[in-house]
């Protein structure tokens, strides 16, 4: 859908209107016209899943983003831009890249950048949460602001995807949009892999690149009883549907993983604190359980013992060290084999 056509805006307000549209759909930028001619621009944009895409064309101007302001609730974002027409220069991370039709650029929203359009220009931009792409900032650092050839390989696939999704995103159903957002995230991750093959390896434990970020968030909030798929998805800037897709490759469900991690931490604490120890209910509450009955069932389903039986066994185990290995759960697989990030509190 058309978000803005400056031809319908009074001449003196066009630059500000286009700047506001770019801020809403792309990044908090500043826009300054390059000559005295009346400024003209259009912007079309759509959201699909947790991704957004925009198509823009504009007359000569300078688009710049000053030093970004980050807060705990401001997710990092990554854009891939396809320059379709016109000429200009893109600058980020000390690199100045001349723009010609067909140029593909990676834009890190966590760094200042500028885009000088020397003539009437057009471009398509796809942007996603950086965590959904699963690319580390050090690996991305050498790629932003660099012109990427789209003659073949992954860059050509990325350029085609950005172009086609820009043309169709506003007509996608919600389920299809969710899936294509995941395709876009995977494609950007593959593009970075292709362009920076010697960079840091994948996150530990393999699986989906976002899974490590999910596990880190779970570890940081494991004791919060309100931890839920909806809250995790919101914190990482993805949808709940996509979050569950991430854990399809983890050999467990997200809810089961959280429960197992909580049970594991409770088991370690109950085994360690044998003298002047907190009550079992206090330990359960510390790690996010609000119902004693639910905690007992969850604990027994993993270790085959109730929490009190577990603590009693620890009390009578001569020489049991504080960090003794946990018994294997009934399914024969210890929780720690499921990609735990950090079990020590």
The residue among 167, 195, 223 that closes a domain is 195
- Judgement on whether residues 280 and 139 belong to the same structural domain of the protein: no
- Judgement on whether residues 31 and 139 belong to the same structural domain of the protein: yes
Would you say residue 345 lies in a domain? no
Would you say residue 201 lies in a domain? no
- Judgement on whether residues 190 and 291 belong to the same structural domain of the protein: no
Round the average pLDDT of the chain to a whole number and report it: 80
| Burial of 197 from C-beta contacts in 10 A (0-12 / 13-18 / 19+) | exposed
Q: What is the CATH number of the domain that holds 48?
A: 2.60.120.10
Residue 99, CA distances (Å) to 9, 87, 88 in order? 28, 5, 5
- Judgement on whether residues 182 and 230 belong to the same structural domain of the protein: no
Q: How far is CA 323 from the centre of its chain?
A: 34
- Judgement on whether residues 223 and 146 belong to the same structural domain of the protein: no
In whole angstroms, what is the distance from residue 330 CA to residue 304 CA? 7
Higher pLDDT, 325 or 102: 102
Would you say residue 205 lies in a domain? no
Closest CA to 85 of 119, 136, 133: 119
CB 45 within 8 A of CB 52: yes
- Judgement on whether residues 301 and 274 belong to the same structural domain of the protein: yes
- Judgement on whether residues 125 and 260 belong to the same structural domain of the protein: no
The residue among 164, 195, 226 that closes a domain is 195
Would you say residue 275 lies in a domain? yes
Structure tokens belonging to residue 53: 């895409």
Would you say residue 200 lies in a domain? no
Res 318 pLDDT > 50: no
- Judgement on whether residues 185 and 60 belong to the same structural domain of the protein: yes
- Judgement on whether residues 232 and 175 belong to the same structural domain of the protein: no
The residue among 137, 163, 195 that closes a domain is 195
State residue 291's pLDDT score: 93
**pLDDT per residue over 232-285, tens digit each?**
988 888 888 888 877 776 667 889 889 988 998 888 778 665 555 688 999 999
- Judgement on whether residues 13 and 118 belong to the same structural domain of the protein: yes
- Judgement on whether residues 109 and 83 belong to the same structural domain of the protein: yes
Would you say residue 15 lies in a domain? yes
In whole angstroms, what is the distance from residue 10 CA to residue 176 CA? 38
- Judgement on whether residues 281 and 320 belong to the same structural domain of the protein: yes
Q: What is the CATH number of the domain that holds 231?
A: 1.10.10.60
- How many structural domains is the chain composed of? 2
Would you say residue 344 lies in a domain? no
Would you say residue 304 lies in a domain? yes
In whole angstroms, what is the distance from residue 172 CA to residue 160 CA? 17
State residue 207's pLDDT score: 56
Instruction: State which H helix or E strand residue 259 sits in.
Output: helix 254-272
Average pLDDT score over residue span 111-131:
90
In whole angstroms, what is the distance from residue 267 CA to residue 262 CA? 9
Q: CA 4, 7, 13 angle in degrees (round to 5)?
A: 80
**pLDDT per residue over 167-202, tens digit each?**
999 899 988 988 898 899 889 988 988 887 544 444
**pLDDT per residue over 41-64, tens digit each?**
999 999 998 899 999 999 999 999
In whole angstroms, what is the distance from residue 291 CA to residue 298 CA? 11
Domain that holds residue 259: 211-338
């Amino acid at each position: 859908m058309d978000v803005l056509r400056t031809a319908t805006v009074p001449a003196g307000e066009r630059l500000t209107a286009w700047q506001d549209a770019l801020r809403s759909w792309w990044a908090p930028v500043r826009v300054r016209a390059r000559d005295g001619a009346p400024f003209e621009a259009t912007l079309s944009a759509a959201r699909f899943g947790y991704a957004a895409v925009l198509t823009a064309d504009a007359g000569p101007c300078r688009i710049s983003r000053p030093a970004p302001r980050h807060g705990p609730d401001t997710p990092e974002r990554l854009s891939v831009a396809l320059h379709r027409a016109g000429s200009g220069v893109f600058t980020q991370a000390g690199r100045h890249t001349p723009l010609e039709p067909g140029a593909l650029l990676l834009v890190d929203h966590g760094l200042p950048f500028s885009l000088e359009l020397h003539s009437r220009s057009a471009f398509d931009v796809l942007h996603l949460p950086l965590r959904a792409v699963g690319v580390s900032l050090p690996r991305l650092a050498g790629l932003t602001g660099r012109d990427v050839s789209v003659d073949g390989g992954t860059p050509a696939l990325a350029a085609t995807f950005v172009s086609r999704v820009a043309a169709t995103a506003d007509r996608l159903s919600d389920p299809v949009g969710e899936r294509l957002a995941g395709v876009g995230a995977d494609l950007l991750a593959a593009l970075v892999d292709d362009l920076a093959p010697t960079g840091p390896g994948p996150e530990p434990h393999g699986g989906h690149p976002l899974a490590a970020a999910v596990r880190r968030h779970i570890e940081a909030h494991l004791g919060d009883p309100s931890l839920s798929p909806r809250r995790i998805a919101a914190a990482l800037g993805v949808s709940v549907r996509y979050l569950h897709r991430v854990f399809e490759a983890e050999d467990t469900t997200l809810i089961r993983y959280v429960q197992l991690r909580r049970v594991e931490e409770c088991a370690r604490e109950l085994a360690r604190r044998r003298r002047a120890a907190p009550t079992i209910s206090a330990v359960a509450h510390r790690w996010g359980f609000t119902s004693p009955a639910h905690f007992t069932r969850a604990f027994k389903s993993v270790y085959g013992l109730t929490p009190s039986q577990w603590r009693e066994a620890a009390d009578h185990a001569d020489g049991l060290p504080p960090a003794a290995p946990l018994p294997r759960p009934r399914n024969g697989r210890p929780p720690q084999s499921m990609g735990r990030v950090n079990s020590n509190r």
